[in-house]
Structure 1
Amino acid sequence: MRPKVMQLCLSNGWGGLEMYPARIIPELARQGWQAHGLALEGSRVAASLEQAGVTPLTVPSRGQALWRVGRILAYLKAHEIDVVHCHKSSDLRLGALLATLRPGLRLYFTDHMGVTRPKRDPYHRWAYGRLTRLFSISETTRVRNLRAFPLPPERIRRLYLGIDPSPYVAGLAADQRRTLRAELGVPEGAVAIGLPGRITPGKGQAVWVEALARLAVARPELAWHGVLIGGLGVGEGSNEAFVAELQARVAALGLTERIRFAGFRGDLPRCLEALDIVCVPSRNEAFGLTVIEAMAAARPVVGADSGAIPELVDATTGRLAAPSDPDAWAAALGELSADAALQHRLGQAGRARVLEAFTLAAHVRALVGEYAGEPAT
């Protein structure tokens, strides 16, 4: 009989945290584990679990989940589930209650967001005290977690995220790539400088726009085109007021013809193939999934020199710049835009690094080892 795990994510949002359970489920199955899910009724998390082949147990709200703890315990018993993995700190109330009422249940929590303040009051000591292991998705977050959580160091483990690199292998024919670049507004012969991700102030799109404005002045000989890939509305995770501010700033800088708001794209691996340089100017990334996606697509990355991004990007795979310094960003983009051979060299090194250290298979191998109680290596 295969070992089983319940992925618990009671969120109505939609970002990397919410995508994670469904993303790992196929690999869990390949490595011999059967996944179950607990999600909010009608949420995108619940839909994503269905798409991954798991019919989740659902509840109307987090509050109702606590009232229905008996039903959830009965489900765990009926399906012989001894491992529960939580993904939101607010879900730990339920997870800790389950672990208290079902002795022997192994409870795991991944800190996807990066804690910002200490959590050592009596409630957090109780809730986090029920954890078998807390996973930090970068060394940066692990250092914060060691300071913030009431846990001994051996119960906090760094576990880098991973991706399946296969969709990021170059697969577009030359004419398909030209067509896609034209669809993204990139003129023939221009260097496509992209920034994928949710359009919100913390993701750094404002400094990127200012950097491109300075690049246009400092290096007028360079032909480039900026491509913002991300939803333009709140339903797609973006800040509509901030989107409007950005669009107004682009117009005020006279860059409307050189920066394209491409909207949400469900084909990010293809879009990355159409770009030449990928930018990740987020001020405080807990990990940086977009970074390793770009690297897997063999694209050089210009990233913020803050948060966890410096753990992923170095001078062999891209460039780092302060998230509040548009001049530094303009200089890095100018260097890469002017040198196609450098772009290629950095991109190839980035893909090699992903294959070595950031695959989904390696991530899940480490994860199921933890689920099974194997000592960390």
Structure 2
Amino acid sequence: MRPKVMQLCLSDGWGGLEMYPARIIPELARQGWEAHGLALAGSRVAASLAEAGIAPLTVASRGQALWRVGRILAYLKAHDIGVVHCHKSSDLRLGALLATLRPGLRLFFTDHMGVTRPKRDPYHRWAYGRVTRVFSISETTRARNLRAFPLPAARIRRLYLGLDPAPYLEAPGDAERATLRAELGVPQGAVAIGLPGRLTPGKGQRVWIEALAGLAEMRPDLAWHGVLIGGLTAGEGSNEAFVAELRRRVAALGLGERVTFAGFRGDLPRCLQALDIVCVPSRNEAFGLTAIEAMAAGRPVVGSNSGALPETVDAATGRLADPEDPEAWAVALAELVADEALRERLGAAGRARVRADFTLARHVEALVGEYAGQAEAGA
């Protein structure tokens, strides 16, 4: 009988945290684990789990999950599930209660966001005390977790996220790439500078736009085009007031013909192949999955020299710049826009780094080892 794990994510949002459970389910299956899910009814998390091939147990709210804990315990018993993996700190209340009421249950928590405040009060001591292992998605977040959580260092493990490189490897033909670039508004002969991600303060779109203005002034001889890839509405996860602010700033800087708001794209691996440079100017990335996706697609990355990005992007795979310094970004972009051979070298090195360190198979291999208790056994 295959070992079983329940992925617990009671979130009604949609971002990297919420996408994670469904992303790992196929690889869990390939590595011999049967996945189950617990999600909010009608949420995108529940829909994504269904699309990944499992029928999740659902509850109407987090509160209902607590007062119907008996139903969840019965489900765990009926399906002989011995592992629960939580992905939001607010879900730990339920996870810890399940671990208390079902002795022997192994409880895991991935801190996807990076904790910012100490959690050493009596409630958190109780909740985290039931956790078998906390996973930090970077060394940066692990350092914060060590300071914040009431746990010994041995129970907090750095476990980098991973992806399946296959969708990013197959380069489109010339005709398909030309079509993609036209869809993204990139003129022929221009170097495409992309910034994928939610359009919200903190993701760095402001400094990026200012950097493009600086690039235009610094190197008027260079042909380039900026592409913002991300939803433009609240329903697509973006801040509509912020989107309007960005549009106004683009117009005020005279960049209207040089920046495209491409909107949400469900084909990001293909879009990355159509770009020449990918930017990640977030001030405080807990990991930086977008950078890894760009590297898997063989694209050089310009990222912020803060948060966890310096753990994945270096001088061999891209460039780093201060997220508060548009001029530094303009200088980094100018170097890459002007040198196609450099872009190709950095992109190739980034792709090799992903294959070595950031594959989904490697991530899940470490994960299931923890699920099975191999770390405690010395495996």
Q: Which amino acid aligns with 2:193?
A: I
Q: Distance in 2 between matches of 1:248 and 1:171?
A: 35
Deviations 1:34-68 (A, max 9, x none): 00000000000000000000100000000000011
Corresponding position of 1:136: 136
Deviations 1:231-259 (A, max 9, x none): 00111111100000000000000100000
Q: Distance in 2 between matches of 1:255 and 1:171?
A: 30
Please give the residue correspondences for 1:271-290 in structure 2 after superposition, counting only pairs within 5 Å.
271-290=271-290
Corresponding position of 1:199: 199
Deviations 1:278-313 (A, max 9, x none): 000000000000000000000000000000000000
Corresponding position of 1:150: 150
TM-score by length of 1: 0.99
Corresponding position of 2:329: 329
Corresponding position of 1:28: 28
Indicate the SS of the match to 2:302: strand
Shift of 1:11: 0.2
Corresponding position of 1:364: 364
Q: Distance in 1 between matches of 2:267 and 2:23?
A: 15
Indicate the SS of the match to 1:151: coil
Deviations 1:323-369 (A, max 9, x none): 00000000000000000000000000000000000000000000000
Q: Distance in 2 between matches of 1:93 and 1:19?
A: 21
Corresponding position of 2:232: 232
Indicate the SS of the match to 1:23: helix
> Percent identity, aligned pairs only?
82
Corresponding position of 2:68: 68
Equivalent residues, number: 377
Q: Which amino acid aligns with 2:165?
A: P
Task: Give 5+ residue unaligned stretches, structure 1.
Answer: none
Q: Which amino acid aligns with 1:2?
A: R
Corresponding position of 1:101: 101
Q: Which amino acid aligns with 1:116?
A: T
Shift of 1:18: 0.1
Q: Distance in 2 between matches of 1:288 and 1:217?
A: 30
Q: Distance in 2 between matches of 1:163 and 1:29?
A: 15
Q: Distance in 1 between matches of 2:229 and 2:46?
A: 25
Deviations 1:104-142 (A, max 9, x none): 000000000000010000000000110000000000000
Indicate the SS of the match to 2:374: coil
Shift of 1:174: 0.3
Shift of 1:170: 3.0
Q: Which amino acid aligns with 1:180?
A: L
Q: Distance in 2 between matches of 1:151 and 1:130?
A: 10
Shift of 1:178: 0.6
Indicate the SS of the match to 2:278: strand
Task: Give 5+ residue unaligned stretches, structure 2.
Answer: none
Deviations 1:168-196 (A, max 9, x none): 01331101101110110000000000000
Q: Which amino acid aligns with 2:276?
A: D
RMSD: 0.6
Corresponding position of 2:12: 12
Please give the residue correspondences for 1:339-358 in structure 2 after superposition, counting only pairs within 5 Å.
339-358=339-358
Indicate the SS of the match to 1:201: coil
Q: Does 1:161 align with 2:161?
A: yes
Shift of 1:148: 0.1
Shift of 1:159: 0.2
Q: Distance in 2 between matches of 1:170 and 1:200?
A: 31
Q: Distance in 2 between matches of 1:256 and 1:170?
A: 32
Corresponding position of 2:294: 294
